[in-house]
Amino acid sequence: MTTVLTGDDLAGALTALRARVPLVHSLTNVVSANFLTNVVLAAGASNAHIDNAHEAAGFARIAGGVLVNLGTPDDGTAAAFTLAAEAAHDAGTPWVLDPVGVGGLPWRSALAVDLLKFRPTVVRGNASEIIALAGLGGATRGVDSSDDPAAAVPAAVALLEHATAVSASGPVDHLVGRDPDGAIVGVRIAGGSDLLPRVTSTGCSLGGLVAAYLAVAPTPLVGLAAAHAHVAVASEIAAEKSSGPGSFAVEYLDALSAVDPATLAERARIESVDLVGEGVNR
Amino acid sequence: MTTVLTGDDLAGALTALRARVPLVHSLTNVVSANFLTNVVLAAGASNAHIDNAHEAAGFARIAGGVLVNLGTPDDGTAAAFTLAAEAAHDAGTPWVLDPVGVGGLPWRSALAVDLLKFRPTVVRGNASEIIALAGLGGATRGVDSSDDPAAAVPAAVALLEHATAVSASGPVDHLVGRDPDGAIVGVRIAGGSDLLPRVTSTGCSLGGLVAAYLAVAPTPLVGLAAAHAHVAVASEIAAEKSSGPGSFAVEYLDALSAVDPATLAERARIESVDLVGEGVNR
Amino acid sequence: MTTVLTGDDLAGALTALRARVPLVHSLTNVVSANFLTNVVLAAGASNAHIDNAHEAAGFARIAGGVLVNLGTPDDGTAAAFTLAAEAAHDAGTPWVLDPVGVGGLPWRSALAVDLLKFRPTVVRGNASEIIALAGLGGATRGVDSSDDPAAAVPAAVALLEHATAVSASGPVDHLVGRDPDGAIVGVRIAGGSDLLPRVTSTGCSLGGLVAAYLAVAPTPLVGLAAAHAHVAVASEIAAEKSSGPGSFAVEYLDALSAVDPATLAERARIESVDLVGEGVNR
């Protein structure tokens, strides 16, 4: 089995990100709003948080990529999520659905399922959220992941009915999408740090970074993988310089900024996932 | 007079926190949402911020502890506060009321008084807020404390009509509750740092930490004291390594994570408050 | 041409800020809420974020200065903005309008224009926002500035019909106001750091700092200039100690706190702008 993506693909995406500085339109939760913007800026892109129903659709049409994150929805922002997703779909703006808390919380779970009709370019979540959204069951415990990402691969593949690429984050991230011939393919990305889940919004901000990469990458799977690899490499670098979760968050932003395409290509630990064992592509 | 609580009580609570990783359900203000979550994570627990009326009650029933913080209420979150407090009360989930700004702001003051009917496990505030909530007058100046915590002890005792334990934060924190025989007892916890009030949300995030400890401590007073002592010790350690409020906030998160039960027991400066002079227990 | 403002004017404003610790009432966006409060605290003032319609007017009457920032408005906060601006105007509380995103986003643009009737003491924005608000055209790209602040001077002067002083932020900040004789004058403030726009909310938090300085400065122009110079000097100091945007944000807060009046007077790079070339005061 050949590797679906190479380090050069990731480096090319980062080169494009730095050259084009895509503008992300984020509709994210109040816990992550500041950190997510700093992550997107540190990586080399730009972000505007606009989640009112008056402006969400218009901005989604002109943004480079849109993130809809279900972390702290209310009636007002939920309306904006729908308008932004619909506008992104209609305008061809790539958009990311981050189904935070889906599974354990019925109201937002229904909202997430409803948003699938606008065909997100990417669904990014932790394993339990991906499993829950795919309707395969699973229970979520707040916003923490309680399932192994590898176990979410069948659910991620099932979600390809609605999305172009899907990722389940965890100690080893698992991503699925389609290759240029339309075949379903999977990759796993190792790395990261035990400190990542000790800092809030590292997952949510990855969603913002995915939206940024989707604006510049040749395919959704390349953009999704580049965002995951950028985070994995930067967090490894940051962990070496940190003495706890506070200093890690600071070093992480510095490292997201410092990582260059050559470093990304060299340090990214990406390999293919054999999906035949998952009942795909036989 | 014997000491109501010992360092071993605090160490036991921290050991339980780290072993059980309780899940806090926070309904907190937008200023503190990120920092509070990082504080709770750094200390060793988990947090989910859910403040919409659709989901607040359901989550309060399954969380380990709930925090209702009145810092930036609006009509939507105020409804969620009431639903969460009622559900926590009905389900037996311990919950914390942080009456931010009560006294100087009539709308939220009425809301705080109304929430008392759901019998918060703990009321945690600064001195002026505790005095105001107890109906003893006092005026609040934004979210800063303008009163000495020692002066709030009679008000804190008065609030024991509604809550099981009450704390007034300040240079020396003052806490009141009941001992196993039902007698009202008080403790003061010294330490901390002059830099604590120079960083926003250190008080609000203490409220989140109290909710985490309530989920695992043998009594509300032990949980409340452990949270205060954890903050006092961590902030002392952080202050030694800081050159200003920015670096203090970073070091504080690292220290919250680094403090272990033995350190907490050794460094906590806790002593009993003689409440007889306050007209209690004569 | 004489210098309109001197380093001593700036030092005097900072001395007053530290002595009086003014209380800012901020109605700001969710991205900046935490960082803005930390900036205001680090500089030496105090902040309360109150953006609900029940409390905004009452608090604006008693605060030292008010900030209305249009970054993430919704129907509820927009109502609070109007109430706070009206109350500040009626009570004589100085207030700052930060027209984030105005120009590219029609709904909030109409809101910003409507707020001008309450005569903001200061309008502070980036160049494209100032140009857009002045009705001279210009398009905004999210919350980033795409125009040179020098190009915004005519627009800033035009806004003096509605406000007492106006600033356009950028690599070199440009400020306009009136001297004691009522003549329109301009100053530019150099300094800062390339890392400032790599950290979110540095501009928004400057707006909070302006509100703090307006509470203690002899004239709005002095207060506006002191806030800009404080930020420029602190960010220069921070940049020398930083290795990226994460560490810069930390060092920036430390430096805002460490800068004293003598340092501010010595390091501030302020000079007059010749407005005759702009068609003013001929």
| Chain A residue closest in CA terms to C251 | A250
The 10 Å Cβ neighbour count of residue A114 is: 13
Report the C-alpha gap between B19 and B10 in whole angstroms.
14
Chain A contact present for C244, CB below 8 A: yes
Chain A contact present for C146, CB below 8 A: no
Q: What tokens appear for C230 in the block?
A: 């404080």
The pLDDT of residue B1 is 37
Contact A107 B76 (CB under 8 A): no
Contact C34 B200 (CB under 8 A): yes
Contact B34 A29 (CB under 8 A): no
Integer Rg of chain B from CA = 17
The nearest CA of chain A is from the CA of B252 a distance in Å of 7
- Chain A residues with beta carbon closer than 8 angstroms to that of B55: 105-108
- Chain B residues with beta carbon closer than 8 angstroms to that of A112: none
DSSP string, B83-141: HHHHHHHHHT--EEEE-TTTTT-HHHHHHHHHHGGG--SEEEEEHHHHHHHTTS----B
Instruction: Tell whether B172 is covered by a domain.
Output: yes
Chain C contact present for B46, CB below 8 A: no
Which of B107, B141, B247 is facing C55, going by the closest CB pair? Answer: B107
Q: Give, to the nearest 10 degrees, the angle between helix C33-43 and helix A33-43.
A: 90
- Chain A residues with beta carbon closer than 8 angstroms to that of C243: 254, 258
Residue whose C-alpha is closest to residue B27's, from B100, B91, B92, B90: B100
Report the C-alpha gap between A120 and C90 in whole angstroms.
49
Backbone angles phi, psi at C48, to 5 degrees: -130, 125
Residues of chain B under the 70 pLDDT cut = 1-3, 136-146, 277-282
The pLDDT of residue A145 is 53
Residue whose C-alpha is closest to residue B34's, from B235, B201, B247: B201
| Chain C residue closest in CA terms to B198 | C41
Instruction: Tell whether B22 is covered by a domain.
Output: yes
Instruction: Tell whether C155 is covered by a domain.
Output: yes
Q: What tokens appear for B10 in the block?
A: 């605090």
Chain C contact present for A209, CB below 8 A: no
Instruction: Tell whether B281 is covered by a domain.
Output: no
Domain containing A103 — which CATH number?
3.40.1190.20
Instruction: Tell whether A147 is covered by a domain.
Output: yes
Taking only the tens of pLDDT, chain A with its 282 residues reads: 346 899 999 999 999 999 999 999 999 999 999 999 999 999 999 999 999 999 999 999 999 999 999 999 999 999 999 999 999 999 999 999 999 999 989 999 999 999 999 999 999 999 999 999 998 544 444 444 567 889 999 999 999 999 999 999 999 999 999 988 889 999 999 999 999 999 999 999 999 999 999 999 999 999 999 999 999 999 999 999 999 999 999 999 999 999 999 999 999 999 999 887 666 654
Report the C-alpha gap between A206 and A212 in whole angstroms.
10
Region C49-68 average pLDDT: 98
Contact B253 A246 (CB under 8 A): yes
**Which of A37, A52, A200, A251 to probe the C interface (max C CBs under 10 A)?**
A52
Instruction: Tell whether A184 is covered by a domain.
Output: yes
Instruction: Tell whether B165 is covered by a domain.
Output: yes
Contact A41 C74 (CB under 8 A): no
Chain C contact present for B181, CB below 8 A: no
Grade residue C3 by pLDDT with cuts at 50, 70 and 90: low
Q: Are A200 and B34 in contact (CB under 8 A)?
A: yes
Rounded percentage of chain C residues whose pLDDT exceeds 70? 93
The pLDDT of residue A180 is 81
* Cα torsion angle, C65, C70, C71, C72, sign: positive
Residue whose C-alpha is closest to residue B27's, from B94, B105, B114, B95: B95
Question: Left (φ > 0), alpha (ψ -120 to 50) or beta: where does A219 sit?
Answer: beta
Integer Rg of chain C from CA = 17
Q: List Cα–Cα distances, B36 to A248, A252, B30, B43, B254, in angstroms.
A: 17, 19, 10, 11, 14
The pLDDT of residue C141 is 47
Grade residue C102 by pLDDT with cuts at 50, 70 and 90: very high
The pLDDT of residue A138 is 43
The pLDDT of residue C42 is 98
Query: Which chains are adjacent to chain C, needing at least 3 Cβ pairs under 8 Å?
Result: A, B
Chain A contact present for C77, CB below 8 A: no
Report the C-alpha gap between B281 and C88 in whole angstroms.
49
What pLDDT, in 10s, does the model give residues C106-152? 999 999 999 999 999 999 999 999 999 998 544 444 445 567 889 99
- Chain B residues with beta carbon closer than 8 angstroms to that of C38: 199-200, 245-246, 249
The pLDDT of residue A141 is 46
Q: Which pTM was predicted?
A: 0.96
- How far is C-alpha C64 from the geometric centre of its chain's CA atoms? 15
The pLDDT of residue B139 is 43
Query: Which chains are adjacent to chain A, needing at least 3 Cβ pairs under 8 Å?
Result: B, C
Which of A76, A106, A246 is facing B251, going by the closest CB pair? Answer: A246
* Cα torsion angle, B236, B238, B244, B249, sign: negative
The nearest CA of chain A is from the CA of B153 a distance in Å of 34
Which of C59, C76, C254 is facing B247, going by the closest CB pair? Answer: C254
Domain housing C43: 11-273
The pLDDT of residue B4 is 81
The pLDDT of residue A252 is 98
Give me the number of domains chain C comprises.
Answer: 1
Chain A contact present for B50, CB below 8 A: yes
In chain B, the N- to C-terminal Cα span, in Å, equals: 14
* Cα torsion angle, A59, A60, A63, A65, sign: positive
The nearest CA of chain A is from the CA of C144 a distance in Å of 8
The nearest CA of chain A is from the CA of C200 a distance in Å of 6
- Chain C residues with beta carbon closer than 8 angstroms to that of A257: 198, 244-246
Contact B52 A75 (CB under 8 A): yes
Region C158-167 average pLDDT: 96
Residue B26 DSSP label: E
Contact B246 C252 (CB under 8 A): yes
Chain A contact present for B254, CB below 8 A: yes
**Which of B29, B36, B52, B72 to probe the C interface (max C CBs under 10 A)?**
B72
- Chain B residues with beta carbon closer than 8 angstroms to that of A32: 34
Q: Please identify among residues 18-37 of chain A the ones whose CB lies closer than 8 Å to any CB of chain B.
A: 29-35
The pLDDT of residue B276 is 75
Contact C51 B72 (CB under 8 A): yes
Burial of A179 (0-12, 13-18, 19+ CB in 10 A): middle
The nearest CA of chain B is from the CA of A121 a distance in Å of 27
State yes or no: B201 annotated in a binding site. no
Contact C142 A51 (CB under 8 A): no
Instruction: Tell whether B125 is covered by a domain.
Output: yes
